[in-house]
Structure 1
């Protein structure tokens, strides 16, 4: 385990945008970091490259669904993996832990010797990622197997209908092979859920209720109308190498599998949930569970890639809430909204912009999101050198998950068969209108689409880094998404759009409040209702209940990126280039925050010599 020492971080930016930063972030373990002068003179270690690529391949082979989403292999091996769903057994989990420990041991040997600068970044990122896997083993059952966010009951459906490729007749055959395995994976998840319940690792009642809704929704239609069948029907319609007869046969087989295997498996999940329901309660924080405080500390470390405590994060959140609300108050008064709390006035403002047309406004809202993304692509050319080749699409969240989903982004397929996708839940009847622009900037352009698609397209990165097989956790990726929102404010994209600017500030306030409510619920005993009253909607609060710690990644990551940018500005002066800084962050890809700091320091030193 790494020894990490906290240090204070502070920056100052222009008055309207000033952001006090973190206190107590982590630094790299000196035992694993060679002196900068020594590192810069070291050539690449060919043995490390060979080992790292081989290890990454072994890691991906353990997770066929990851192999499919990244299209990591080629030919027969990739095809064989495209026919499998990742086992959810204890045996597979133990294999992954053993492989992670083996990888850490070998990395320590390489990191004690000569590695080039880029290799040391790769090694440090791999080691951090593998260490978190090992450290998380004792807390495997603390996230409910069937939670409404990424639980097996929705994860398998989303994977089959969105990620599994349907490019040709062979992909259809692979789809059917995987469909046969869905019931097995569901039953494996049930074994885990029952074992967790026996250890008193039981979800709060509200999380179980949301998951029950999803299972009921899945079981509602007849097999022929089930999403696992209708998706195959829709996606196979344009295949040129699949005859009408073969396609009809495939759809009939899918219907039979869903009827005879999948629906009964989901029925078993439903019965388990009914059985578990009387044992659930209304206390929502992870601290309610045995060793819950230790579990939460692990999740905070994992998602923020720091050693910030819950108390420190809570304090940062309170400070940021006060700062952002002060800024919003000024702009609200400009619009004649001077009475009431910031939250009350923002509701009044949002009401002004609710759709007034008759009929369903959702198609128009999706089109507006797409327009914001297109406009952002044009604006981004002035401040970015790197632009992704892959296109980005805007789609409505599927019905099975829309009731509890947040907006999110999914990667394009490496082979171009699937675009990057910005998924938008449009539950209605009211819509979050004035935050639409900032949401598009975060999830699509220049946010996650720029960051993740560019990383995937990088030919200069090792394949395992380009495909995020080992990464730096949520703080890097979500920090960039929030940084993209902040960048739009700084660059004047909201000129003459005060409501939109307030929407952007409101989005930042939302992320600051997350720090308060996530730590509040999981470390301070806050109730669900208390957290909702603090100013965040119930769907979001329920996400934090099901996913402890993750909500803290956004603000922590953004503050670190801003600090590094300000450091580069101060040290480089007129040599500083904003597009060049963005190049450094985007080319590096997903890394822990301390590794990102080392990369930026190295870039600063190089620029000084020019």
Structure 2
């Protein structure tokens, strides 16, 4: 998966929205200008995203690099008001004369705005301190991994932001306390997981804290920073972490510990007021489909049966004949575990080797590949026990490559699925999908930088499709264990459809999800992020359907490379928009 931002987040304030208010009846501004202005306001009101994307220049960008994104309830209401205003403006536009990609842009923006409005009544169900992407996790990851450290000014900005962490955390505490008073609490097991994260963050002194250690490590690579400047900055960071940040994280821990006795092990959104409506909405947003929870559940059951049948034959061929698919795969994983006392360095090297090999193999399937490099790094210890493998895109200015983050907490390591995970997160998966979109000069800036998020179906669907490409093109020839790893990964995504819908719509327990074949940490992720895990398989199936449609329509004129160009150059859009673009591409190919 790539690091997600929920499609329900829209950070343009109503007051700022006035800056791009126009007389649409008179068409005093073009669609492109309107969309660019809307995007700029959105990013301007989300300083953390402005930093990630380096969206502006000079003093304006520098000013944003010193701020954290506001997280107040008042701001949330302003965001929704701005979304309603922008949607009303879009509704008044005549879009018939726009180009194919402009229409795709308009449809993507509409999708984002409507989702923001529709999600507002359920915003409180996105638990503030959930263990997967909660405020306490997001802030640490942003500051330690994404805030740039290129020069002295970046260091100064980092320290200013570090000083602001406690205020943002305390705002979150107020919200979580108020929700708890209304009975809106995380399940017991999520609360315990978050407490464990906080314990790991708080253990040791400030000098060993990730917010200090990561700063020291990154400053060491900046030539203009003298040893004295580095020491001074590290000392300032230690003081802020000791006096401000760690006490605020302790306050979060105290709150969650106080709330723990009031929690229950009921897992799904069904337990909350209108939880069924909230889940149906999230499922629709994440998959960008009209499937009901029951339909997604049935798709999952069918796919599980199909994949397990294929895996059974391969497992038997390798001598694994006894037990369920899950039990036999566990035995296979155990049999191929590394023998070293600490295999992590060798595993990182193996990931890197597979990544470089995939780049070579991809030349036969793609004629457009990213300019930005991609590397593999180990997930930081603070989040390693609860994190899934994920990808973060390269910096627009070239100062940061695409990064495939691989958690390796041990003692059992992911060996059977190592190749498939690399294809998914790296090449030709998320790295191709995200880096190529960022580099696509044919698209407006807001499309390149995914300013208007639209759920996970396109991105995660593409990454799972990338896994399938490896099978179709014989990358696993001679490697039955690796092919089993690919099938096991696909089975995992099919089981997700069953478990996610089971948890949130059918009152499954956490244990039922585990018993169905999903690891506990993953089940907890689905509880914290309803619907998101369904995006992978639904997205992959739709991309395969569109490819089959194009092959049928074009026959011998069908080009796989050209199809890939069309999908990747369109970038992250809702699946119905991708379908529209592919259909128009097919029509254009027929004419030519």
Given candidates 549, 557, 582, the residue that maps to 1:567 is: 549
In structure 2, the residue matched to 1:145 is 128
Q: How far does residue 335 in structure 1 lie from its aligned partner after superposition?
A: 1.4
Which aligned pairs between 1:386-425 and structure 2 lie closer than 5 A? Answer: 386-425=368-407
Contact 1:489–1:501 (8 Å) recurs in 2: yes
Q: How far does residue 213 in structure 1 lie from its aligned partner after superposition?
A: 0.7
Contact 2:417–2:482 (8 Å) recurs in 1: yes
Query: Is the aligned partner of 1:81 residue 2:64?
Result: yes
Contact 2:95–2:103 (8 Å) recurs in 1: no
For residues 397 and 179 of structure 2, the distance between their equivalents in structure 1, rounded to whole angstroms, comes to 39
Query: Is the aligned partner of 1:466 residue 2:454?
Result: no
Contact 1:59–1:99 (8 Å) recurs in 2: no
In structure 1, the residue matched to 2:479 is 497
Contact 1:465–1:471 (8 Å) recurs in 2: no
Q: How far does residue 46 in structure 1 lie from its aligned partner after superposition?
A: 6.6
For residues 458 and 344 of structure 1, the distance between their equivalents in structure 2, rounded to whole angstroms, comes to 45
Which secondary structure state, in structure 2, belongs to the residue aligned with residue 493 of structure 1? coil
Contact 2:131–2:194 (8 Å) recurs in 1: yes
Given candidates 337, 352, 360, the residue that maps to 1:370 is: 352
Contact 1:229–1:255 (8 Å) recurs in 2: yes
Deviations 1:518-543 (A, max 9, x none): 10111111111111011111111111
In structure 1, the residue matched to 2:228 is 245
Return 5+ residue gaps in structure 2 as ranges: 1-26
For residues 127 and 195 of structure 1, the distance between their equivalents in structure 2, rounded to whole angstroms, comes to 32
Contact 1:45–1:115 (8 Å) recurs in 2: no
For residues 152 and 84 of structure 1, the distance between their equivalents in structure 2, rounded to whole angstroms, comes to 15
The alignment's TM-score, normalised by the length of structure 2, stands at 0.94
Number of aligned pairs? 566
For residues 152 and 472 of structure 1, the distance between their equivalents in structure 2, rounded to whole angstroms, comes to 21
Q: How far does residue 338 in structure 1 lie from its aligned partner after superposition?
A: 2.4
Query: Is the aligned partner of 1:49 residue 2:32?
Result: yes
Given candidates 435, 449, 456, the residue that maps to 2:431 is: 449
Contact 1:521–1:531 (8 Å) recurs in 2: yes
Query: Is the aligned partner of 1:439 residue 2:410?
Result: no
Which secondary structure state, in structure 2, belongs to the residue aligned with residue 136 of structure 1? helix
In structure 2, the residue matched to 1:284 is 267
In structure 2, the residue matched to 1:263 is 246
Root mean square deviation of aligned Cα: 1.3
The alignment's TM-score, normalised by the length of structure 1, stands at 0.91
For residues 110 and 497 of structure 1, the distance between their equivalents in structure 2, rounded to whole angstroms, comes to 55
Deviations 1:113-172 (A, max 9, x none): 532222111000011011111111111111211011111111101100000000000100
Query: Is the aligned partner of 1:210 residue 2:180?
Result: no
In structure 2, the residue matched to 1:14 is none
Given candidates 538, 554, 559, the residue that maps to 1:556 is: 538
In structure 2, the residue matched to 1:485 is 467
Which secondary structure state, in structure 2, belongs to the residue aligned with residue 355 of structure 1? coil
For residues 461 and 471 of structure 1, the distance between their equivalents in structure 2, rounded to whole angstroms, comes to 15
For residues 69 and 230 of structure 1, the distance between their equivalents in structure 2, rounded to whole angstroms, comes to 21
Which secondary structure state, in structure 1, belongs to the residue aligned with residue 416 of structure 2? coil
Deviations 1:435-457 (A, max 9, x none): 11110000000000000000001
For residues 349 and 264 of structure 1, the distance between their equivalents in structure 2, rounded to whole angstroms, comes to 45
Contact 2:151–2:224 (8 Å) recurs in 1: yes
Q: Which structure 1 residue ranges, 4+ long, deviate > 6 Å from structure 2?
A: none
Which secondary structure state, in structure 1, belongs to the residue aligned with residue 411 of structure 2? coil
Q: How far does residue 111 in structure 1 lie from its aligned partner after superposition?
A: 4.7
In structure 1, the residue matched to 2:212 is 229
For residues 131 and 344 of structure 1, the distance between their equivalents in structure 2, rounded to whole angstroms, comes to 44
Return 5+ residue gaps in structure 1 as ranges: 1-43
Given candidates 285, 289, 292, the residue that maps to 1:309 is: 292
